[in-house]
Amino acid sequence: MKQAMFERDILYPTQNPLEPGSVHVTVYSPENTGGLPIVVRAKTSHNPVDYVTEIITILQTDIFDRIRIDIRTSGIIYFVPADKTAACCRVNFTDKDNYVCEEVLDAEILI
pTM over 0.75, yes/no? yes
- Domain range summary for the chain, segments of one domain joined by +: 4-108
What rounded mean pLDDT belongs to the chain? 90
Distance of alpha carbon 69 from alpha carbon 58, whole angstroms = 14
Residue 99 forms beta bridges with which residues? 93
pLDDT digits (tens, 9 = 90+) for 8-48: 999 999 999 899 999 999 999 987 778 999 999 999 999 99
Task: Please enumerate in sequence order all residues whose Cβ is within 8 A of that of 69, keeping only pairs 6 or more positions apart, or say none.
Answer: 36, 75
Query: Which strands, in side-by-side order, build the sheet including 99-104?
Result: 4-12, 21-28, 36-42, 75-80, 88-93, 99-104
Query: What is the predicted pLDDT for the residue at 110?
Result: 52
Distance of CA 72 to the CA centre of its chain: 10
